[in-house]
């Protein structure tokens, strides 16, 4: 597996973990496969990507899985493949997350890259259309608001009269 690494120390640790787990067959207890990288920022991004697309209870599922966005088969069950295709997050790692170049495309090697929040803000779906109010409708809304305020003042005045008048209490 050929990987691109920015930080030599980080690269050494990851390669050691991959080699160690490859030498013992990558087997953990109860038939699960492990790579020793579950604590890395890249693993967290990989897991989050799958959650957004597959978990109907995830708070962002409506923006991903419900829109038909999926994770490619190559990445779905293999963090190692994901890491080989994406490489490590650039430094500082907390500033980068996975971005789909085509917002309507799936999570797959040709459509994903590590990007900062600023970069991702430029690659958004268009917001829903909101027509600009005409001068007449603005005037109508202003008049309506003035009327609501007048009614509220009037009710407040009536309430004061009722509360402050002991003759009405009996």
* Spatial distance between the Cα atoms of 11 and 3, rounded to a whole number of angstroms: 9
* Spatial distance between the Cα atoms of 59 and 87, rounded to a whole number of angstroms: 27
- Distance of alpha carbon 13 from its chain centroid, rounded? 29
Backbone phi and psi for residue 88, each to the nearest 5 degrees, phi listed first:
-75, 160
Could you give the count of Cα atoms lying within 13 Å of 160 in the half-sphere of its Cβ?
6
| Burial (CB count <10 Å: 0-12, 13-18, 19+), residue 150 | exposed
Global pTM value = 0.57
Bridge partners of 96, per DSSP, are 116
What pLDDT digit, counting tens, does each position of 107-145 carry? 999 999 999 988 888 877 666 655 666 777 777 777 777
Residue 107, helix vs strand vs coil = strand
> Does position 164 have pLDDT exceeding 50, yes or no?
yes
């Amino acid at each position: 597996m050929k990987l691109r690494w920015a930080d030599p120390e980080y690269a050494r640790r990851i390669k050691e973990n991959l080699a160690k787990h490859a030498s013992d067959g990558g087997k953990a207890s109860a038939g699960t496969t492990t790579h020793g990288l579950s604590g890395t920022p890249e693993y967290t991004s990989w897991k989050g990507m799958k959650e957004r697309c597959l978990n109907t209870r995830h708070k962002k599922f409506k923006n991903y899985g419900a829109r038909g966005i999926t994770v490619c088969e190559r990445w779905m069950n293999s963090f190692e493949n994901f890491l080989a295709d994406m490489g490590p997050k650039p430094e500082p790692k907390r500033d980068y997350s996975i971005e789909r170049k085509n917002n309507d495309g799936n999570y797959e090697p040709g459509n994903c890259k590590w990007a900062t929040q600023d970069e991702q803000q430029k690659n958004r779906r268009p917001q829903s259309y909101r027509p600009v109010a005409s001068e007449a409708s603005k005037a109508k809304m202003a008049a309506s608001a003035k009327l609501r305020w007048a009614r509220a003042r009037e009710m407040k005045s009536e309430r004061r009269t009722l509360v402050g008048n002991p003759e009405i209490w009996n």
